Structure 1
Amino acid sequence: MSSSNQRFIEALQTCEIFKGVEKSCIEEVVRNARVERYDSKELVRIRGDSCEELLFLVEGEAFGLFTNPEGRVLQIDHMFAPKLLAAAVIFSTDAKYPVDVETVKPSVFLSVEKDFFVSLLMKNEKLLRNYLQYVSDAFVFITDRFYEITMKNLVQKVCSYLVRLMDEQNSSTVTMYMSKEELAREFGATRPALSRVFIELERLGIIEMEGKRVAIRNERYVRDYAEFD
């Protein structure tokens, strides 16, 4: 066995999917994998590419990036070896990579055919259970990540609104003219989500609220966040 294959086996042994799985199973995966090597800042896969494989990052690190229609790039994930990419979409009806995958530094990936991996899952209960847990964890991570991004955008909108009120009223203590329900509609958010933003800002000591009256205690924070891009 080559030294590089031995490194790949040792890397996969520490991957969540293969924890507690026999070494012979991992050796079989490496023997049947296609090795892909990339330099720094190279695109490995592009959002929308067909995902009919299991792609393991075995050396290096990569970003999962999403570019919106305005060209703004959002970093969804920072992936370190060893890691299976796109675990939650591989067996979907229309399996496509959900984000661009770009290397941070020279990296090595192993591409494993889906049908071959399914045969391993059918023969190895431990591997199957690990995979199901991995997929579930991936789903929880991505929903938490998008919640964080969405909330950050909403915090930005709230801070921009407060800055506008401070400038209009020439005071760090302002009166909101709209109810939270009206503000939520203007921001394209739910009222509970908007309320959570105000509660969090108050908990952090950024603002103090009494009805529609808002005292901004940390004006620098509010202005910086309003200008965040």
Structure 2
Amino acid sequence: MNPLILNLGESSLFKGYTIGELERVFSSIHYRMEKYPLGCLVRSRGSVHDELLILLDGSAVAEMQDQSGKVIRVERLEAPSVLGSAFLFSSDREFPVDLVADDRGSTFLLMSRETVLRLCRNEEKFLLNLLRDIGDRINLLADKLFMLTLGTIKQRLANYLLKLHRSNGRCFELDMSREALADFFGVARPSLSRVFSELVDIGAIATRGRKVEIISVEKLVNILNFER
């Protein structure tokens, strides 16, 4: 078995699987590996999506191009990551973005729809993980759509920090890097960094790396409700 497959134990689809269980599963199913160098197009937007892709090594970038030709980065993915679980069984199975290998390149494991269905029938743990992954992606999409209704970067950041505050209390660690957060907000990294600094300057938060302390919930709520 390819040693990279052992990375799957850290992925959302195979959460809770031991090394022995991974060896058992992958000795009984058909899969293949694909490796792409930096900058190579892995999948194009609109191509038929009939296989589940799992990023095993390296990183990749999901991009879209608007009518003017401007490339918009949708998401940066780090291994291990699952791609396209929500679209694999949709009626319109088209890949929604351009997927490009990043950094030192990307290595993917691919499984057909039939193989995924077989795993769902035979592996209850895999089925539950797949359903959870799809549900998490729907929640993420809903959050992103709500972010687009907020007019300023400061509002988007205030909303994000208040959500983490509700889940984790006054002090917490960001659940994604600032680069990934900028992609999530659809803004440039320097613009997001400036807004973090502004929130520190007005006494709303304190930061240390990815650690954040909420100093004033009221100030964040006021930004969310009244900033224009």
RMSD over aligned CA atoms reads 2.8
Secondary structure of the corresponding residue to residue 107 of structure 1: strand
Following superposition, the deviation at residue 22 of structure 1 comes to 5.0
Secondary structure of the corresponding residue to residue 40 of structure 1: coil
**For residue 145 of structure 1, what is the aligned residue in structure 2?**
144
Alpha-carbon deviations, 1:187-227, whole Å to 9, x = none?
xxxxxxxxxxxxx999349x88xxxxxxxxxxxxx9xxxxx
Q: Percent identity?
A: 30
Mind listing any 5+ residue stretches in structure 1 that lack a counterpart?
157-199, 209-221, 223-229
Secondary structure of the corresponding residue to residue 77 of structure 2: strand
The alpha-carbon distance between structure 1 residues 46 and 22, as it changes in their structure 2 partners (threshold 3 A), is same
**For residue 203 of structure 1, what is the aligned residue in structure 2?**
222
CA distance in 2, matches of 1:62, 1:113: 21
The reply on whether 1:61 has 2:80 as its aligned counterpart is no
The reply on whether 1:48 has 2:53 as its aligned counterpart is no
Q: 1:45·1:100 contact (CA, 8 Å) conserved in 2?
A: yes
**For residue 38 of structure 1, what is the aligned residue in structure 2?**
36
**For residue 215 of structure 2, what is the aligned residue in structure 1?**
none
User: TM-score with structure 2 length normalisation?
Assistant: 0.62
Count of aligned pairs: 160
Alpha-carbon deviations, 1:67-121, whole Å to 9, x = none?
1222222222111100110111110011111111111121101111110111011
User: TM-score with structure 1 length normalisation?
Assistant: 0.62
**For residue 100 of structure 2, what is the aligned residue in structure 1?**
102
The one-letter amino acid paired with 2:57 is E
Q: 1:29·1:112 contact (CA, 8 Å) conserved in 2?
A: no
Larger radius of gyration: 1
The alpha-carbon distance between structure 1 residues 92 and 24, as it changes in their structure 2 partners (threshold 3 A), is farther
Alpha-carbon deviations, 1:6-36, whole Å to 9, x = none?
2x22210111110123545533347622111
Mind listing any 5+ residue stretches in structure 2 that lack a counterpart?
154-218
CA distance in 1, matches of 2:12, 2:100: 22
**For residue 111 of structure 2, what is the aligned residue in structure 1?**
112
